[in-house]
Structure 1
């Protein structure tokens, strides 16, 4: 599990925005991951994704790493933001977009 924790930590630190999800942005494998991708795409921010279905150590390890029991999980500039419900609430309130600007996250355009 220490190896998974190290890999998660390296991924989170190496990327401004990381979404740990089930599937990929092109083929999400659950509704919550699909919603998280749609939110990030609508924000227009560049992000890295990690398909937890491809690595069971990462799938379990991310829950321990964040102390959050569900997937997807969003990290911005190394900080855990939350899952798809929190992302949706923040997006609807304009807070997620503000966070991306505040943290100077790269855009896709």
Structure 2
């Protein structure tokens, strides 16, 4: 199995394992870019458990997640195995209360 395929399987398994998953630059407690920071700030407004993956620690994941989602930037947010989007989309969903609806639906299912 080549490295790309192995990384893709790893990404799929992470998305399946975690109800709310953020591929980001940096750690949950110390985001390494303003976009990742904004997403963490928004998610922390909810009393929810979510998982993060620091793409700066694994260049294969950093590159493959962009191909997997067909989305060119990091952070990337997955909720209930569905790609939701990046920072701009999360900010917009948050401002319109749609993110809260998505999270409630996910956590109550």
Q: TM-score range by the shorter chain?
A: over 0.9
1:51 aligns with 2:54: yes
Runs of 5+ consecutive residues of structure 2 not aligned to the other structure: none
**Cα–Cα, structure 1 residues 50 and 105, in superposed 2: closer, same or farther, change >3 Å?**
farther
1:84 aligns with 2:84: no
Root-mean-square deviation (CA), in Å?
1.2
**Cα–Cα, structure 1 residues 20 and 3, in superposed 2: closer, same or farther, change >3 Å?**
same
**Cα–Cα, structure 1 residues 105 and 80, in superposed 2: closer, same or farther, change >3 Å?**
farther
TM-score (norm 2): 0.94
TM-score (norm 1): 0.94
Structure-2 residue corresponding to 1:9: 12
Instruction: Count matched residues.
Output: 106
Q: Which contiguous aligned blocks of 4+ residues in structure 1 show a shift greater than 6 angstroms?
A: none
Of the candidates 27, 31, 47, which is equivalent to residue 28 of structure 1? 31
